[in-house]
Chain A
Amino acid sequence: MDYLLQPWAWYVSGPLIAVVLFLTYYFGKSFGISTNLETMCTIAGAGKISDYFKKDWKQRDWALAIVTGLIIGGLISHLFLTNSQVNMISSETITDLQKLGFTYENGSYVPNELFSLENAFTLKGFSILLIAGSLIGFGTRYAGGCTSGHAITGLSSLQLPSLIAVIGFFVGGLIMTWILFPLIF
């Protein structure tokens, strides 16, 4: 049991993600999360503003069930499957982040400097999180998929558009991490 409560190694986690992909296809659907963002627009009434969102969202209720499961899965992990304040992050990363003003607390998933409620609701903090989200939402829909739809599904089914998209993911991620982070933080 203790083994379950520690962070899981990549060679356990990666294959389990493949099992999740397998189950999604076995149950007759495609693996990918980001289309749900469009479904949420449709549910919020975006079809009144643009025909793009005039869709029958009930056809995608199975995907909303997966998303609901993600939240519950997070909650179950949080309540029952975590005992540790183990530090798994490399010491170089922690040092680099300290230079940018981020402190790492063992066992935490997000830095307080960005995500604590006090900081998230300052003008700068709110803007950063909202802009980050907008880039994610716009980018994934323009590219036609996110990490699940392109990186896992697309690459494993040997699709060229996914390879280009994943190269893009890394171009964007590297620009943000290496060039923009020191300017923003």
Chain B
Amino acid sequence: MKNLKFLLVGIVFGIVLTKSEAISWYRIYEMFKFQSFHMYGIIGSAVSISMIFMFLFKKGSIKDYLGNQIHIKEKKKGFIRTLVGGTIFGLGWALAGACPGPIFVLLGNGIISILIVLLGAVLGAFIYGLLSKKLPN
């Protein structure tokens, strides 16, 4: 069971996303309405503390569990792809009130109809794959 540790990481992440209410459709609406600091606090503190980890990874102060240097993958560059892709994602994020992680967590919370959103998300990824060479970067 080499993937057991990843299963456990996922379980912890699923509990945190539930208990923080980051999986809440209402919280996402509230965030885009600027009516609460909650979601900004979650994302802001997650990013700030991750920044320290990333710095230590890059510096080599923290190695992975096998003692290897940790490399941070570079994101694909391209102004159009990130801005247009990001905007399309944002439209879906606000409408479904869930991003990819929470889709799975909501399923665990017994929200069966989120499977329709998941089906759409897999279809959307499929359509992207078909068009990927034709889309501007």
Contacts and interface: CB of A to CB of B under 8 A. Distances in A.
Interface of A: 4, 7-30, 33-34, 36-38, 40-41, 44, 46, 49-50, 52-53, 61-63, 65-78, 81-82, 88-90, 92-93, 96-97, 104, 108-111, 114-117, 120-121, 126, 128-162, 164-178, 180-181, 184
A168 B46 CA distance: 20
Interface of B: 2-33, 35-51, 53-54, 57-58, 62, 64-66, 68, 70, 72-79, 81-101, 103-114, 116-130, 132-133, 135
B90 A89 contact: no
B101 A171 contact: no
B97 A110 contact: yes
B82 to A, nearest CB: 4
A73 B105 contact: yes
Q: Decide if the interface of chain A is mainly helix, strand, loop or mixed.
A: helix
Contact of A8 (B20, B26, B53, B73): B20
Nearest to B25: A110
B53 A33 contact: no
A115 B75 CA distance: 34
A77 B18 contact: yes
Nearest to B31: A173
Most buried by B among A8, A111, A156: A156
Given A128-B95, A168-B86, A14 B43 contact: yes
